Structure 1
Amino acid sequence: MRLRPFAVLSTVAVSALLLAGCAGDSGASPSETPTASADLCEQVAAPGAVSDGVTVEGEFGEPSTAKFELEQEVPELQRTVLTEGDGDRIGEGEYVSYAISAFDSTNGERIGDAGYGDAEMLPQDVLANPTLAQVIGCATVGSRLAVAFPAQNGAPSEIYIVDVLKAVPSAAWGEKQDPTDGMPTVKLAEDGEPDVSVPNTDAPKELQISVLKQGDGTEVADGDTTLLHYYGVDWETGETFDSSWSKGAPLSIPGNTYVPGFVQALEGQKVGSQVLVVIPPALAYGEDPEAHDLGGKTLVFVIDILATQHAPAAQ
């Protein structure tokens, strides 16, 4: 089974199906994509005879069945709005969740589905992916699209049904919680970027976790791949040493293969949450300062959990 597309996925399970997917990293800054225009509506592919001729059976948000004339020539990417959603329009810098059903245009056979149910995909920045911008662009949430892809690299032309499921905020949106005594304090900029003040006390010897905002989404499980923003501070100096905010986009790493304390702070938390964690050296980069630049250091992270994608079930 293979799916062509436009998704820049960060999951081993689904990216194995893609011809043009980029597994493992959705952290590239939109500004690093030279072909991406600021106006998403201008990038949308025009409808054509093939995409206009597609009819669909099935409910929005569930795998669908497409009917179309077989063996039609698809000279270029075509995109038709089958039903327009009544949600907000996708805007610049927003991450969008979507699902797809794909079909071989030569024989009508189903190639596969992704983004539905257990086959979830992480949200993507439309502006950072030119093909995704051509397909989804500034569509409204709740829209269903028919997309015809030209033949490529020996693969036949393909028909995709795309459901635009939701837009995901770029910062944690959960309900604010009372701060925990003795923990670092966090102030947020207007865009959600944190500023951390470390107390003038000895660093704790044990892992400390505090939820600053309580989300209501899916719980992060062991082995998940999570889309997140993070801001890291050295307890001793109070200075930041790394931040996804400074890089311009959230990060995802397949399987959440971060340092142990960071992973423990994620597991069991709900999407939409903001988590503050203080990690002792043993659960970070170890006690030896010569083994790593951050060796021997107690680290403080503020983590915004934007989405999570469960690991595929063992077959």
Structure 2
Amino acid sequence: MRTLLARRASERTSRTRRLGTVAVAAAIVAVGLTGCSAAGSGDCVQPGAASELIPSSGTATASSWKFPKPLHADSLQKSTLTSGKGAEIVDGQPVILDVGIFNGLTGKAVVTAAQGGMISASTSGSQLPGLQKALLCSTVGSRIAVTGTVTQVLGKEAQLNIPASSTVVAVATVKKAFLARADGTPRPGQPGMPTVVLAPNGQPGIKIPSHDAPKTLSTAILKQGSGETVKKGDYTVVNYTAVAWNSPDTVASSSWQNGSADIWPATDGSVPTTVTNKLIGEKVGTQLIVVTPGSNATAYVIDILGIAK
């Protein structure tokens, strides 16, 4: 897991891109994107005796949360503390959260959560499995309480100074949700460009042509979105896959494979600015392919999922 802090302006170097180990202060997690179908009733985490004891008052960055102690939960439970008026969250959607995680024995915070972090709702998340699953069937604007053991809520890799079998409480408020995949109108393929085939969950496969790479930066729209327009200076939520022209059978990099949506422009230099600049003027919901020229020519297929402001 990777550290993710939501900051603006000069603090954007740690902007809501990815999230870190649960032990890291001011951390929550941006994780697995797995599809875009609405969750069935069997995927909804149900309330239980422990989650029903959690009150709604408090803030994500509080040093403690008031509930009857010691609290014990040996199964994953979720109660809706306040119901939001937004749309229901579906499998694979990245969302912006305020979240705090508290020790069920003492009520004290085990993570001082960053506000405005990003995480993906998922029935099969592996990094924060309980919290990811609990987001399903919730609505944007809702505050939820999730209880269970450390392993059930935060996963086997969680590094906390309490036993994995201890009860924890996660209190999360869903601030905003983005698309799970580009939902624009398909456009015809362009001659000379790589062929793109989509998996059922929207993940692209890229077939590089046998001819030489383009001599100039090339772009084509694969799906035309109709959402908000990306402007210069925006931080854009994307999913992408990149394949090098000279290594067509190997994925060079991919947010899909990394298990988390990304936010561009990237601050670590992993994606060329010539590529990220091509998002400017495009609309949310668009899928495009960008091919960089030269000896290191690379094809990027990019889904524009939203704008993180």
Give the structure-2-normalised TM-score.
0.58
The residue aligned with 2:143 is: 144
Deviations 1:157-215 (A, max 9, x none): 44322123455433224688999x98738777696566889899864323334566465
CA pair 216-157 structure 1, distance change in 2 beyond 3 A: same
Deviations 1:196-244 (A, max 9, x none): 898998643233345664652776979x89641336474x99x775499
The residue aligned with 1:41 is: 42
CA pair 53-128 structure 1, distance change in 2 beyond 3 A: closer
* 1:113 and 2:124 aligned: no
Q: Distance in 2 between matches of 1:277 and 1:225?
A: 16
CA pair 89-106 structure 1, distance change in 2 beyond 3 A: same
The residue aligned with 2:293 is: 280
Asked if 2 retains the 8 angstrom alpha-carbon contact of 1:70 and 1:106, the reply is no
Q: Distance in 1 between matches of 2:87 and 2:270?
A: 37
Asked if 1 retains the 8 angstrom alpha-carbon contact of 2:230 and 2:307, the reply is yes
Q: Distance in 1 between matches of 2:194 and 2:233?
A: 27
Equivalences, count? 268
Question: Which of residues 171, 179, 196 is equivalent to 2:181?
Answer: 171
CA pair 266-207 structure 1, distance change in 2 beyond 3 A: same
Structure with higher Rg: it is 1
The residue aligned with 1:135 is: 134
The residue aligned with 2:55 is: 55
Amino acid corresponding to residue 49 of structure 2 in structure 1: G
The residue aligned with 1:230 is: 241
Q: Distance in 2 between matches of 1:67 and 1:259?
A: 39
CA pair 269-250 structure 1, distance change in 2 beyond 3 A: farther
CA pair 97-164 structure 1, distance change in 2 beyond 3 A: same
Q: Distance in 2 between matches of 1:154 and 1:196?
A: 45
Please list, as runs of the form range in 1=range in 2, the aligned pairs for 1:37-116 lying within 5 A after superposition: 41-42=42-43, 44-49=45-50, 51-57=51-57, 63=60, 68-76=66-74, 77-91=76-90, 93-99=91-97, 100-105=99-104, 108-110=107-109, 111-116=111-116
SS at match of 2:138: coil
Question: Which of residues 201, 204, 216 is equivalent to 2:228?
Answer: 216
Q: CA deviation at 1:277?
A: 1.4
SS at match of 1:79: strand
The residue aligned with 2:302 is: 303
Asked if 2 retains the 8 angstrom alpha-carbon contact of 1:145 and 1:161, the reply is yes
Q: Distance in 1 between matches of 2:260 and 2:145?
A: 30
Q: Distance in 2 between matches of 1:163 and 1:205?
A: 48
Q: Distance in 1 between matches of 2:219 and 2:120?
A: 26
RMSD over aligned Cα, in angstroms?
Answer: 5.2
Q: CA deviation at 1:52?
A: 1.8
Q: Percent identity?
A: 21
Q: Distance in 1 between matches of 2:205 and 2:104?
A: 52
* 1:18 and 2:22 aligned: yes
CA pair 83-207 structure 1, distance change in 2 beyond 3 A: same
Q: Distance in 1 between matches of 2:102 and 2:29?
A: 25
* 1:269 and 2:279 aligned: yes
Q: Distance in 2 between matches of 1:40 and 1:220?
A: 41
Give the structure-1-normalised TM-score.
0.57
SS at match of 1:281: coil
Amino acid corresponding to residue 139 of structure 1 in structure 2: S
SS at match of 2:73: coil
Q: CA deviation at 1:18?
A: 0.8
Deviations 1:275-314 (A, max 9, x none): 32121234x2xxxxxxxxxxxxx4333222336879xxxx
